[in-house]
Structure 1
Amino acid sequence: MKKKSNWRTILATLIMVLPFVLGFGSMTDVMAATAVPAEQLVTIHKLQYDSLPGNPTQNTGDEMDFSGKPLAGAVFTAYDVTAVYWAAYDKAEGNDGLKTAAAEAAVRALTNDDLGKGTAFPETNADGIASLPLATKVEVGVDEEGKPIMRNAIYLFKETKSPAGVVQSKSADFILGLPVYNEGTDNAKDEVHVYPKNEVKAVTFGFTKYGVDETGSVKDENGKDRTLNDAAFVLKDTVTGGYYSLKNGQFDATEEEAKNNPITSKDGGMVSVEDLVLKPGTYEFYEVNSTVSTDGSEEAEYHYGKNPVVIVTVDENMNVTYDYYNIDGKMTDETKGQATGAEAYNYKVPAPTKDANDKDVDVDQEIIFTITQQIPTDIADYTQFQLVDDFDDSLELLSTVGEIEGQLTEFGGKVTVDGSKFTVDFDMDLLKANAGKTITFEVKMSVKKGVELATDINNEVTFDNNFDDQSAKDSVKTYGKKFLKIDADSKNPLANAEFHVLNPEGKLLGMITKEDGTKVQAWGAEGDAGFEATVLKSNAQGEFEVSGLAKTNDKGAIIYYELKEIKAPEGYALAQNTFKFVADDGTATLKINNKHKGSLPSTGGKGIVAFVAVGVVAIAGAGLYFMKGRKHIEG
């Protein structure tokens, strides 16, 4: 059932276009004897108003001034309803007015299927005008003698194509009866002018842009809404596929052109497109960048997807409604009002974390890396979710696939290993069911032998997703020490000296054979099962070194190691004391002295120096005595 206001509109329209609606019945009798043209030119003058006139002027069929602006782009179709009209008219009882009302009601009750194919007028031009000749008489049957019964033509006009911005509920159908005569005469008009009117309404699209942090909150540290400025959007007409152009206000731009001159969010995160004159339909806002600022603050990366952030529906009455994803990731149509009716959210992609339980390590020491990754609160928008762990070639993965997957069953984690990289894939349905939770798991690794000393050995994890990849890494280091074995007196290098390395607990550096037969560096004691102490041996240049040692303990304190000589070079005494050292980057060399066997150390007294001095004096005296004796004999 139509509203009363619509009936008023229809009646008003009829008054404006039909001075000739009443008296259709009498026209048949009074004008029957008068010759009429077979056709009359009907000219439509389409007018637009911000609001339809409250007291419309009666249409006379002549050219008139209704003060409205011409409206281009409208198409009217005239449907021949002559037979239906006159059948209802003839059947009705009462005076002409009652019979006419009954006939009009019968016409308006016709459906589109009942109407069949009509006669379409040209699209109204820039002056709002479209013309077409229509027959003035229509055969409605035959009489008893088989002669055709001709009646005045009756047409139902429908606006079958409306220009943009038209409030279609106020675009009432109208009925036109032909022929139309000049007032007070039996002369048919050469041209019949009708003035259908439209209310044209401009609309505004608007929404507010918010930023959501990793915790799922739109509030900043001060408790205020985190609105985003400088987010860029394009607006698409889903019917035509065209994009809105800021240059001319039309939907005639390509996607690329719209991206090059996008709609942006202003202060307070406001996105607004005003004074849109549109056709009913669906319009979509797509975001085209993710670098935005928070009310003028430092720029930050927020992700956006391929789906429309806000969907706007414009109905036939130019009413605007919005559909959008709320902060919980659920589609909603709740609005705050037309100008700022919707909300749109940008989310930061949560970054993973990676932390080693010890960053200053021995070679082959078991290191535990803890990896965390928050499941985004807007996980429903994600189509890709992987954790890719890329570790240095100097690291060895100790954890098995089963050990890692066993920690991730809640999220359907599946692990694949490829060289120095492993990837974890997840069940997207399980992730969506756990939105906002944090994935945490541990991975065991160790540093391989032969690594460069005092150099970061990196282990990086990347959250690979369809928005903005995020990474985190941690690194470990290992150290060592270079030594030089020399003669304590001559400082010449000594080969074939052998040493053990001890840690502060007195354990020896060595190798342990694992169950699978592999050997790893470890600290132990002679006699420990599978343990073999490492022996360092000086080369021909007296050089030897140790590597793969931590420089500090788990509390950050310097570790003091000891070097213990277990075999001296041939002819040299075995050092009785150990040599303390600190692991470093291998650039500083610690000299280790050895004494010949039987040599006595200088203790600070005269020692053998006195004996040597006496011997020298004695030899010198004997020489002088010999020289004097020789001269005496010769003389």
Structure 2
Amino acid sequence: MKKILVTLTSIILCLPLLMGMTPANQNKATQIQVVLHKIAFPEGELPQDTKNTGKIDDQHAELLKNYHGLNNVTFDVFDVSRKFYDLRQQGLTVEQAQEQLAKLGPNKERVATGVTQNVGGEDGTLAFSLSSTSTQADGKDAVYLFHEAKAPDYIKEKSKDLVVVLPIYDGDKVMSKIHLYPKNERKTTIPPRFTKVVTDGKANYNFGDKISFTVTTTVPADLTDYKFYKVTDQADEVLHFNPESLSVTIDGKDISALFEKTIRQHGFELNFNDMKKLEPYEGKTIVVTYTDTLMSHDKVDAKIVNTASLDTDFDKIVKEVDVKTGGKRFVKVDALDSSKKLANAEFVVLNRKGNYLNQEKNGFTWTNDVTNHNVVKLISDKNGQFEIRGLAYGTYQLEEIKAPTGYVRSKEKIFFKVSETSYNQKAGVLKVVNTQERRKIPKTKKPHTGIFPKTNDVFNSKLIWLGVFILFGVVIAYIRNKKEKNEE
């Protein structure tokens, strides 16, 4: 626990704006309430003295957020009005008179006594109802000394006496309820060992995964001065606690009889209120195991925090662990013109085992049946964009099952990686391309023209070859006929 530099008052040194004295004949005897908030500080962390405004929301109240209120402290209240006014007549200022009275300590005029306890959930609280005027000072404004009469044995030394001079003002208004913050420094104690871990050591999960946590704490070796011992677990809103998974053991044996259990949607509270039951286990380790289900895929690339705390009479120990889930963004574009975004392409997601991403009521699962009606289908929007969220870190594949109109469906699977920054980084947007379908030119039939074929037609070509053959035959016959005549 870090040391708080803010300091607490030991005596009430009230400025003129905050208090004053009024002649008795101008005041009627009324009751004012003084509320003590007793705070215990570890050895070496006792803050310095500082002025107290009497308000409930001043800097002293902040100390209660970091330190415990201390119960079972006895305070006596003494009327020291007569001595105060005697000191004032001797020429002492209000502040000087207060300091002197604090050094003198209690007198014989005890008017009230009480013991600090838990009031409204706050430990170390004690309220006194006191008269605003003093009979021993002839009805003048009362001056009270608050003396710590008894404290637990583990307290190093008692707090200094507090002197309050009435009335105390908040601006120009008399305060009817005054808050004081006496402090104690306790003897050094060894804080209980307290840990919290993700049981399987992983740091990232799929939407719908059950995440196992383990909390351990060592019971103090001496519980004599302990009045309570409380373990609290509070998870992020996207983590839902599974009550049936809660197990609390010592040496492997269930110890449910030792505590009171409070279950909440995002956590639990274990109150060990009966220290007598816990004493046989001094020095032993309490092991708490349970699971939370990741019920949302909205928190991508962000810490999903699970906090455990141990509260005792002396210590407040807080341990945090966090898990994450990831995602990936894509854009569907034309293969030749990446500025052209393609809508209505459909994809499914596969893991390394070749199973398809499936979404049930409480999260993702994996199936080997692509026809399952729960298989997650990613469809590109009018800007070509589509995405997947809620995946554990790792490598996955996209398989296109429907191409945009006018494009060829890609038969190759596209690998992509989910990591801590894969979703939110601009550079992480993966372009998925499609090629346009080839245009088919229809064949046109040539019209039939009967016996008059067109030039270059097949029929016309045959006639030409026939003419060549006849001509060739005529030439051969002519040559033979001429040769025979020459021989005669």
- TM-score scaled by length of structure 1: 0.39
Report 1 or 2 for greater relative contact order, CA contacts < 8 Å, sequence distance ≥ 6: 2
The structure whose Rg is larger is 1
TM-score, length-normalised on structure 2?
0.50
